[in-house]
Amino acid sequence: MNADQPAADRSRQDDRFRSTPRTVRSGQTLMKITFFGHSALQIRTEDTTILVDPFITGNPLAEPVVSAADLTPDVILITHAHGDHWGDTPAIARRTGALVVANFEITEYLRKKHGHENVLAMNTGGAAEFPWGRITQTYARHSSSFPDGTYGGNPCGYLVESGARCVYVAGDTSPFAEMAWIGEELDVSVALLPVGDTFTMGPRASLRAIRMLDPAVAVPTHFNTFPPIRIDVEAWAKLVHDTGFVARVLKPGESMAVETD
Ligand SMILES: [Zn+2]
């Protein structure tokens, strides 16, 4: 750096260096996804644990592999207020003090009904920066109400970016045309898509979503938890492969490393 440079310029340059993503050495795992079953999953960066839709208690896929009391997230992302996504949020948030990220209606409900103040309200299209990366709230075509009938705001999905990795959590949704914008603007490393049909897109419709998103790997969620969303997930994986994409089915409790595209 030129010592004659004005101080303001120097500090700007320093800021730029600080915000540069850490160099990813080949083979180094900076992001890991652990699937608990249904839509409950965890994304780990090097130093941060992000829990998504922690429906554990009463979830027949998750209960054999994890207990809500064992989870210690730093951040909890909620896609909408339905019980099969909201799940154990109040208990886990209270015990861990985790930052809960959701729409305004959900964060207000958590503050007023459960006294949890560490929340971040977002809305569709908004992004938030963290030391470890960035979260963007995305559109989802679904509905959202709490188990007690309280209005739960708009449903959503999330883009979780850390370094060169980008994980798209679609939430409960059908395919929607703007998924193509996500695919154009970002190199999606992993797309977590609901495929169980009845309440969300099913296997065939998910192919349209995958073509738009063009992810390095597509991972299915929201299937086989209850009879209405029972599907042949291996047949889904074959459909994805036959369409020219990569599918990875995670068993409850199973983890995968997130590689760059
Ligand atoms: Zn659901």
- Domain assignment present for residue 68? The answer is yes
Quote the percentage of the chain above a pLDDT of 70: 89
Start-to-end CA span in the chain (Å): 34
Q: Please name the helix (run of DSSP H) or strand (run of DSSP E) that holds residue 153, with its range, or none.
A: none
Q: Please name the helix (run of DSSP H) or strand (run of DSSP E) that holds residue 217, with its range, or none.
A: strand 217-221
Centre of ligand 1 to C-alpha 172, Å, is: 6
Q: For residue 39, what pLDDT is reported? A: 98
- Domain assignment present for residue 13? The answer is no
- Host domain of residue 53: 26-257
Mean pLDDT of 202-215: 98
Mean pLDDT of 142-146: 98
Full strand arrangement of the beta sheet holding 127-130? 127-130, 133-139, 156-162, 165-169, 190-194, 217-221
Query: For residue 15, what pLDDT band results from cuts at 50, 70 and 90?
Result: very low
Fill in the DSSP letter of residue 47.
S
CATH code, domain with 245 = 3.60.15.10
Structurally, the chain folds into a number of domains equal to: 1
Mean pLDDT of 77-86: 98
Centre of ligand 1 to C-alpha 70, Å, is: 23
Interval 108-141: pLDDT, tens: 999 999 999 999 999 999 999 999 999 999 999 9
Interval 149-183: pLDDT, tens: 999 999 999 999 999 999 999 999 999 999 999 99
- Domain assignment present for residue 61? The answer is yes
Burial class (CB in 10 A: 0-12, 13-18, 19+), 93: buried
Centre of ligand 1 to C-alpha 23, Å, is: 37
Centre of ligand 1 to C-alpha 111, Å, is: 23
Centre of ligand 1 to C-alpha 195, Å, is: 11
- Domain assignment present for residue 8? The answer is no
Q: For residue 261, what pLDDT is reported? A: 56
Q: For residue 106, what pLDDT is reported? A: 98
Mean pLDDT of 10-33: 50
Centre of ligand 1 to C-alpha 5, Å, is: 56
- Domain assignment present for residue 221? The answer is yes
Interval 54-79: pLDDT, tens: 999 999 999 999 999 999 999 999 99
Centre of ligand 1 to C-alpha 153, Å, is: 15
The Cα–Cα gap between 60 and 74 comes to: 25
- Domain assignment present for residue 53? The answer is yes
In the predicted structure, residue 8 carries a pLDDT above the cut 60: no
Q: For residue 88, what pLDDT is reported? A: 98
Contact, 68 vs 88, CB < 8 A? yes
In the predicted structure, residue 28 carries a pLDDT above the cut 80: no
The Cα–Cα gap between 244 and 240 comes to: 7
- Domain assignment present for residue 14? The answer is no
